[in-house]
Amino acid sequence: MCGIIGILSNKEVGNSLIDGLSRLEYRGYDSAGIATINQNTINRCRAAGKLQALKDLVEKNPLSGSVGIGHTRWATHGSPTKRNAHPHATDRVAVVHNGIIENYQILKEALISQEVAFQSETDTEVVVHLIEQELQLGKSIEIAVVESIAKLEGAFALAIIFKDNPDILIGTRRGSPLVLGIKEDELFLGSDAWSLAPWTQKICYLEEGDTVIMCRGSNFTYKIYDANNQLVNRDIKQLNLATGAASKGGYSHFMLKEIFEQPQTLSDTLLSLVDEHNKTIRNELPIDFTNKNLRIRLIACGSSYYACLMAKYWFEKTARILCEVDLASEFRYRDPVLNSDDTCLFVSQSGETTDTLAALNLAKNMGCLTVAIVNVPESSMARSAHQHILTMAGPEIGVASTKAFTSQLMVLNVLSLYAASARKIIDNHTIAEHITELLHIPNFISQVLQNISEFDQLGQRLSQARDALFIGRGTNYPVALEGALKLKEISYIHAEAYAAGELKHGPIALVDSATPLIAIAPNDSWFEKTASNIQEVATRGAPVFVLTDNQEFNVKSCEFRSIYLPKAGTVANCFIYTCAVQCIAYYTALHKGTDVDQPRNLAKSVTVE
């Protein structure tokens, strides 16, 4: 989603702004722009499409100035054109924005009635005009900003520069993330710390409602006001983030590289939670599962939600704990019944997803223990939750989640084991056996990846399809859901996943010779039932592709192919078959020629609801 950079410096900032934006590209965007102040004018350059288009323009017409703001826009209000690209500006003020101004229509109508002319279709543009009006009334820059943002409803992070005062850069946030980067002779704003990392690792995470006024005088200073306009001190963190540009390391796409990293990331995640020699769980997990009335609520969006669906099987079967799973976007608005015995787990790769973060704050305000399972240590969720557990996947650049998803599964599985142990449902011997199975998973994933050409062939075949169906039972059902989502996201093929037992209740009407079925069918306790469902679909003329470890399995159909995967236990299968569906989606997209790492319309970090 939208990314923000702001720089106040003694040096030219034009190229640095673009450099900062390049580190926000992973978030997903469809236009970009920068603005600087020079010789008492606001200079802007904006372009639709990729950052390269903006770079090309700036190369031809460099923007001079030592204060500036930059933006990558993920279109919400108004199409992804140059006109709608940020920064938005009047003669005196320029603004970049991440979030949505929900009451923009009312504000816009009021401004239009006062003869204000709008240049774009965006919600953001109201912000510049509001500030401009306050400045015209002779108010100071600080008051003009504070009074303008008081009129805004919705979520925003804003960076603002002023024609008449090139020594000031202002940042403010409500709902959307914004960090302040500090150096002796430069100050920065960024949507995340990673975007600022090559410049400074001295970071201050602005809190909800904070406004930072950054000034250049004989030295560089800043003041932070909280939501009540009180001057506050915020902690400054010294981070230790990698600064090198993310590299594909010889792979054709980040997604493929990240798929191949899974043996390592799964091992790293597992070993952060268990002792591989004693086969015990490290006793540092932040949840007291001994409370008999405890209920677990798992809340997330997208793939992270599917990780939660998988975890429900584990918590209920292994630990016998009632566990409910919710989409964050539904949970936050449906007035959920929560009580102080509820432990709410929020699962998020980015730790920034707006709906999940809002759901977390809701549960926290209702007195529940909140635990974030996140891949980004300093993310908003990690900082907002009472406790957090890290998935050790490392930075994930591909928009389609792969290694972060499987690391989430690993954390959730160990947590369910820990819960079962705390409730004395399983003994140490069973825990050791379970951990042994988990320790084998990286090796199984490597075996799957050794035969990747099979997925290439299947991907070639699927790339001709317009629709596809995925089925699975038990824990294979969330794998099917994840497979369908991955395929949709990167190949744009319409795919749906069903619990195999549900087919007859409607979806079987979709079956025809043009709609391939992909069945997740390891030879487990659900296999016989799934096999019957596959047979029913084959009989009705669908091409059938089965992921299985059962070499005997065969059905008569117009087209039938099995991909054999390693024989493993039910828990390891969740990881093995997930890796398989990731590879299928990857090769299908590759053969279709779609943008694997930055698929259309999608964002890595979904910071609007």
| b/e code 263-279 from CB counts within 10 Å (16+ = b) | bbbbbbbbebbbeeeeb
Give the count of residues interacting with ligand AGP (CB under 6 A): 14
Largest CA distance in the chain: 82
| Shorter beta-carbon distance to ligand AGP: residue 531 or 581 | 581
| b/e code 387-403 from CB counts within 10 Å (16+ = b) | ebbbbbbbebbbbbbbb
d(CA 607, CA 134): 28
CA distance to 332, 409, 536, per residue, from 504 (Å): 33, 29, 9
Options 50-58, 197-205, 300-308, 424-432: segment touching ligand AGP (CB under 6 A) = 300-308
The secondary structure of 288-308, three-state, reads CCCCCCCEEEEEECHHHHHHH
Position of minimal CB gap to ligand AGP: 302
Binds ligand AGP by CB under 6 A, chosen from 349, 384, 475, 476: 349
**Footprint (CB under 6 A) of ligand AGP, residues 395-414:** 399-401
Binds ligand AGP by CB under 6 A, chosen from 606, 607, 608, 609: 606
| Shorter beta-carbon distance to ligand AGP: residue 328 or 420 | 328
* Residues in CB range of 138: below 8 A, 6 or more apart: none
> Quick check: is 583 catalytic?
no
Q: Are 405 and 486 in contact (CB under 8 A)?
A: no
Catalytic residue among 2, 204, 368, 583: 2
x/- map, 480-519, ligand AGP, by CB under 6 A = ---------x------------------------------
> Quick check: is 2 catalytic?
yes
Q: Per the omega criterion (within 30 degrees of 0), is the bond before 507 cis?
A: no
Binds ligand AGP by CB under 6 A, chosen from 303, 421, 598, 607: 303
How near is the Cβ of 158 to ligand AGP at its closest, in Å? 22
Options 144-152, 203-211, 231-239, 345-353: segment touching ligand AGP (CB under 6 A) = 345-353
Structure token pair of residue 591 = 């053969």
**Footprint (CB under 6 A) of ligand AGP, residues 353-382:** 353, 356
| Shorter beta-carbon distance to ligand AGP: residue 224 or 399 | 399
How near is the Cβ of 357 to ligand AGP at its closest, in Å? 9
CA distance to 49, 259, 407, 486, per residue, from 254 (Å): 20, 9, 17, 15
Q: Are 195 and 217 in contact (CB under 8 A)?
A: no
Length of the chain: 609
Catalytic residue among 108, 312, 592, 604: 604
**Footprint (CB under 6 A) of ligand AGP, residues 76-105:** none
**Footprint (CB under 6 A) of ligand AGP, residues 22-81:** none
x/- map, 440-479, ligand AGP, by CB under 6 A = ----------------------------------------
Report if residue 302 touches ligand AGP, rule: CB under 6 A: yes
Q: Are 438 and 414 in contact (CB under 8 A)?
A: yes
Q: Which helix (H) or strand (E) holds 595?
A: none
How near is the Cβ of 599 to ligand AGP at its closest, in Å? 9
- What does the binding site for ligand AGP look like in residue numbers (CB under 6 A)? 301-304, 348-350, 353, 356, 399-401, 489, 606
Catalytic residues: 2, 604
